[in-house]
Amino acid sequence: MSLSSLSHRERCLLSLFVLLVLAAVVGPAVPSSGLGAAPFADGHAWRGLPNAMDVLSNLPFAAIGIWGLRWLHWLDRAHEQVQEAAPLPQAAFQPPVNSLDCAWMFFAGLILTAVGSAFYHLEPDSMRLAADRAGMAVAFAGLVGFAVCERVSSRAGWPAAWFTLAGGLLAAAICHTTGNALPWALVQFGGMALIATLALTKPMNGAIGLKLGWVIFFYVLAKMFELADHAIFEATHQLVSGHTLKHLTAALAALPVLHALQAMERQALRHNPGAATVTA
């Protein structure tokens, strides 16, 4: 595929990825903030479980991840029924394959995020932090790919997801081995800047309708809770910490993706009412 065959949005996306890679390679090293071993506000144990609230607050990630995978499995089976009832080219319902692939990556990443974050918060250190970030990288890559499918092009979404995944895993490894947090910051904040930019653009034809504005809202709110970890813990008389609220709020950022899948479900049912009897 030549550059001349790329659309304007695809060329802009490619330029952004090139700039992020260059910034990671030639940019100044940014020392890690020491979060690998820094104490969080709430260190209370519960029934022998250390840092219990920061560990258990990861359960919504796993729950939504499993829920999302169930919906995706249902959509696959519904599409199979449509094809059996009206083979191509008569079948009108064609799910956006690349968007669904990115959604599979996203929801699987949520489960990995729950496992990695719980593992980290049991006994925070730099090695466990790298494992936490690795799970986050999978979920983040799926989200970026889905957003690109919606606002750039369907064909660009899957490569964008894999580029983000490779960059995220490499950035987590670099931060762990060298202490340079710049690549991870570029993946996290550069990726969110991309999603925020895409939220301002017109969806492509055939887009499902992923509400990127809500994703950004919950992400920003989660970051605010994270920064106010100790302040919230003291303000609530040590009832709940900002970091616990960060986990709960960040999990809500997955709800717009679930809503998009439900929109696909309604479209599938319009073309195949009998698919409502399918159980995942």
Domain ranges, ordered by start, for the chain: 52-277
* Cα 251 from Cα 188, distance rounded (Å): 16
Which residue in the block uniquely carries the two structure tokens 């970026």? 144
Rounded to a whole number of angstroms, the distance between the first and last alpha carbons of the chain is: 38
* Cα 211 from Cα 147, distance rounded (Å): 9
Give the CATH class of 52-277. Answer: mainly alpha
Helix spans in 86-181 (H)? 97-122, 126-151, 154-178
Nearest Cα to Cα of residue 52 among 240, 230, 221: 240
Q: What are the per-10-residue average pLDDT scores of the chain (280 residues)?
A: 84 95 94 68 94 97 96 80 58 68 96 97 94 96 96 94 97 94 95 95 87 95 96 96 97 93 67 49
3-state secondary structure of 49: strand
* Cα 19 from Cα 278, distance rounded (Å): 46
Cβ-proximal residues to 162 (8 Å cutoff; 6+ apart), any chain: 141, 145
The one-letter code for the residue type at 10 is: E
> Is the separation of the CB atoms in 120 and 128 below 8 Å?
yes
**Which pTM was predicted?**
0.89
Q: What is the pLDDT of residue 261?
A: 84
Q: What is the pLDDT of residue 208?
A: 83
Residue 201 Rama label (left phi>0; alpha psi -120 to 50; beta)? beta
* Cα 128 from Cα 176, distance rounded (Å): 9
> Is the separation of the CB atoms in 260 and 107 below 8 Å?
no
Q: What is the pLDDT of residue 53?
A: 97
Cβ-proximal residues to 150 (8 Å cutoff; 6+ apart), any chain: 99, 157, 198, 203, 204, 207, 208, 209, 210, 212
211 DSSP assignment:
-
* Cα 103 from Cα 68, distance rounded (Å): 8
* Cα 195 from Cα 215, distance rounded (Å): 9
> Is the separation of the CB atoms in 122 and 113 below 8 Å?
no
> Is the separation of the CB atoms in 106 and 68 below 8 Å?
yes
